[in-house]
Amino acid sequence: MKKGESSLTSLISAFARAYHSQFDHPKIFADHVAEDLISQKELAEITANLVQGVKFFNKGIAQKLKGDQDEMLKWITQIQLSPITIARAAYCEKVVLHDVLLGLKQYVILGAGLDTFCFRHPELSGTLEIFEIDYPATQENKKTRLEKVHDQIPDHLHLVPMDFTKTFSYQSLLSNGFDLHKKTLFSLLGVSYYLTKEENFRLIKSVMAQVPSGSSIIIDYADENLFSEKGTFNRVENMVKMAAASGEPMKSCFTYDEMEKLLEEAGLLIYEHLTPTKMDDLYFRNRRDYLSAFETIHYIHAVVR
């Protein structure tokens, strides 16, 4: 990643949230800020690339929808891009807001990308300190984007540059006002698949090592069927292929028992576990569009013992 260059993954995730907020009904997760962080040029380029690439995802759909670019964009976004992005955002935000009511004071977003939680919840200023951790280039790029739409970054938002997948540093958090004595909620979403099992264990153990009992983390992970499941319209297989082609291959998947053991060894107990079936029932039930919970992806809320 070059200096000042944003992560493509973070840009596509923001696009999916923006598309869902603008066009999908009913909404699973409303992010009215995401579109502000993407330029019109980028929106046009992403749209054009997705429509042009629809044959990669499904030749039959490409032929069926030929000439209807809006429906092509809807199909590819709702089938391939949006399900994981909006489901994890909706679940994570539900947990964060619930914990705030219980006195949560610190929220750390690992791999924040173009997250907009702080700007969608200005009422939490003075109540919740938010720490966004991501690659230095991604953070620099986000600051530039924020400066175009906001007069200043709120005092309770702390952008912490760090390649946490290599080495997680509490010192970087502490220098930005983090308090080791306060219960903290971490989110680690869209990351575990790209790390080995050993790297996941080291990261989670390091992240949760010094926070007090009752602190917690929200994680998504791919189950043991990741590399064999094709999914609706082959979307699971396509996701794995796209990751490999982009130079960021998916490296790990877990059985529930493996994930439970990993978390136990890191000093955590599973408080809630959501399977794709549960996510479908929770967020995608009775829809009349293409949206459905993404196969193989699970969500866990785990708490420090």
> Going by C-beta distance under 8 Å and a sequence separation of 6 or more, which residues neighbour residue 243?
193, 194, 249, 250
Return the SS3 of 115.
coil
What pLDDT score was predicted for residue 246? Answer: 87
- Would you say 39 and 221 are in contact if contact means Cβ atoms under 8 Å apart? no
Architecture of domain 8-304: 3-Layer(aba) Sandwich (3.40)
Do residues 302 and 268 lie in contact, with contact meaning Cβ atoms separated by under 8 Å?
yes
Between helix 256-265 and helix 197-208 the angle, nearest 10°, is 40
**Which of these, 90, 261, 269, lies nearest to 189 by C-alpha position?**
90
Rounded mean pLDDT of 21-49?
Answer: 96
pLDDT tens-digit map of 92-149: 999 999 999 999 999 999 999 999 999 999 999 999 999 999 999 999 999 999 999 8
Instruction: Check pLDDT > 80 for residue 28.
Output: yes
- For residue 3, the model assigns a pLDDT of 40
Instruction: For residues 25 and 174, give the distance between their C-alpha atoms in angstroms, rounded to a whole number.
Output: 42
Q: Is 2 a residue whose pLDDT tops 60?
A: no
| pLDDT, mean of residues 35-59 | 94
Sequence-distant (6+) residues with CB within 8 A of 152 are: none
* Complete edge-to-edge strand list for the sheet that includes strand 216-222: 157-161, 129-134, 106-110, 184-188, 216-222, 297-304, 268-274
Q: How far apart are CA 112 and CA 96, in angstroms?
A: 15
Query: What percentage of the chain has pLDDT greater than the value 70?
Result: 98
User: Is 110 strand, coil or helix?
Assistant: strand
Quick one: average pLDDT of 181-186? 97
Distance of alpha carbon 17 from alpha carbon 11, whole angstroms: 10
Query: What pLDDT, on a 0 to 100 scale, did the predictor assign at position 140?
Result: 92
Q: What average pLDDT does the segment 7-21 reach?
A: 93
What is the pLDDT confidence band of residue 4, given thresholds at 50, 70 and 90? very low
Res. 6: pLDDT tops 90: no
pLDDT, tens digit, 9 for 90 and up, residues 214-268: 999 999 999 999 999 999 999 999 999 999 998 889 999 999 999 999 999 999 9
Query: For a pLDDT cut of 90, what percent of the chain falls above it?
Result: 93
Quote the pLDDT of residue 67: 86
